[in-house]
């Protein structure tokens, strides 16, 4: 799924806000295909080619441009990458096939994956009020996670002990992440932004070894027995 980025005038201020956003959540744009909608910039003095160059300089993976006349991009790498010449609601004819259109500007190859996924191992109890945050990968806990404690991981969470606090897995778009614990008594479980509190799963799984995963935008729990 592509993200649509819509620059707004004044462009300099918008670009500053974008930089701040990227600094806050580094990695949000990594490997995400981007479609740039320039409709809001129509009628300003900013050159579409310069806007696109500014975005590309920030390592955004632009696969298409919309909301601008293709002629305005003549002579730039994005010539031919326009999706709909006159904006998103335009019903004109110049639809261009995305895969072909993306050909003239082959995306930069993504940085090579690190050979080993980083993981964090904790071999003592995680006490109430403590927060373990590890955005880079999986977290393994040997010991209990107390009520009022939280584990936040970019990847999966494995708890060899009772989970009484919160477990938040797949922090940065990790829909594949899972949560495992040997005894479920959790206050809150979340994967990829979708969370459920203890009311959701009721008493049936309480105290059981459980795994939690995301199944088409639905948080699912099952006993590991």
Partner 1 sequence: MSKVLVVTSGKGGVGKTTSSAALGAALAQAGKNVVVVDFDVGLRNLDLIMGAERRVVFDLVNVVQGDAKLAQALIRDKRVETLSLLPASQTRDKDALTPEGVERVINELREKFDWIVCDSPAGIERGATLAMRHADMAVVVTNPEVSSVRDSDRIIGLLDSKTAKAEAGETVDKHLLLTRYDAGRAARGEMLKVEDVLEILAIPLLGIIPDSEDVLKASNVGSPVTLHNPMSAPARAYAEAARRLLGETVAVTMPVEKKSLMSRLFGRSVA
Which residues share a beta bridge with 22?
A: none
State the nearest-atom distance from the C-beta of 67 to partner 1, in Å.
53
Cα separation, 197 vs 181, whole angstroms: 16
Looking at the Cβ atoms of 33 and 125, the one nearer to partner 1 is 125
Token digits of residue 1: 């799924």
Which of 28, 128, 194, 206 touches partner 1 by CB under 8 A?
128
- Binding segment toward partner 1, per CB under 8 A, in 32-40, 61-69, 89-97, 121-129: 121-129
3-class state of residue 194 by DSSP: strand
Q: Could you tell me which of 136, 140, 134 has the C-alpha nearest to residue 114?
A: 136
3-class state of residue 18 by DSSP: helix
Q: Could you tell me which of 128, 136, 184 has the C-alpha nearest to residue 159?
A: 184
- Binding segment toward partner 1, per CB under 8 A, in 44-52, 99-107, 143-151, 205-213: 143-151
State the nearest-atom distance from the C-beta of 106 to partner 1, in Å.
50
Site string (154-193) toward partner 1, x via CB under 8 A: --------x-x-----------------------------
Residues 6+ apart with CB under 8 A from 115: none
Which of 24, 116, 124, 203 touches partner 1 by CB under 8 A?
124
Cα separation, 194 vs 213, whole angstroms: 10
Which of 47, 49, 79, 127 touches partner 1 by CB under 8 A?
127
Q: Which residue has the tokens 């006993």?
A: 223
The number of C-alpha atoms within 13 Å of 215 and in the hemisphere containing its C-beta is 7
- Binding segment toward partner 1, per CB under 8 A, in 88-96, 114-122, 127-135, 212-220: 127-135
Q: How many amino acids of this chain bind partner 1 (CB under 8 A)?
A: 13
Q: Which residues bind partner 1 (CB under 8 A)?
A: 124-125, 127-130, 143-144, 146-148, 162, 164
């Amino acid at each position: 799924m592509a993200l649509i980025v819509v620059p707004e005038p004044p462009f300099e201020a918008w670009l500053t806000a974008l930089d701040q956003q990227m600094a806050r959540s580094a990695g949000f744009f990594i490997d995400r295909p981007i479609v740039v909608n320039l409709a809001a910039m129509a009628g300003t003095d900013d050159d579409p080619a310069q806007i696109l160059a500014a975005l590309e300089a920030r390592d955004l993976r632009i696969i298409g441009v919309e909301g601008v006349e293709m002629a305005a991009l003549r002579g730039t790498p994005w010539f031919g990458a326009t999706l709909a010449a006159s904006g998103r609601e335009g019903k004109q004819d110049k639809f261009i096939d995305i895969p072909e259109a993306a050909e003239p500007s082959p995306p930069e190859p993504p940085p090579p994956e690190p050979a080993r996924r980083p993981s964090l191992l904790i071999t003592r109890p995680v006490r109430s009020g403590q927060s373990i945050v590890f955005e880079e990968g999986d977290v393994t806990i040997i010991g209990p996670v107390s009520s009022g404690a939280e584990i936040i991981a970019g990847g999966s969470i494995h708890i060899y002990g009772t989970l009484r606090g919160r477990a938040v897995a797949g922090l940065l778009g990790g829909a594949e992440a899972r949560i495992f614990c040997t005894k479920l008594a959790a206050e809150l479980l979340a994967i990829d932004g979708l969370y459920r509190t203890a009311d959701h799963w009721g008493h049936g799984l309480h105290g059981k070894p459980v795994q939690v995963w995301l199944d088409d935008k639905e948080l699912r729990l099952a006993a590991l027995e």
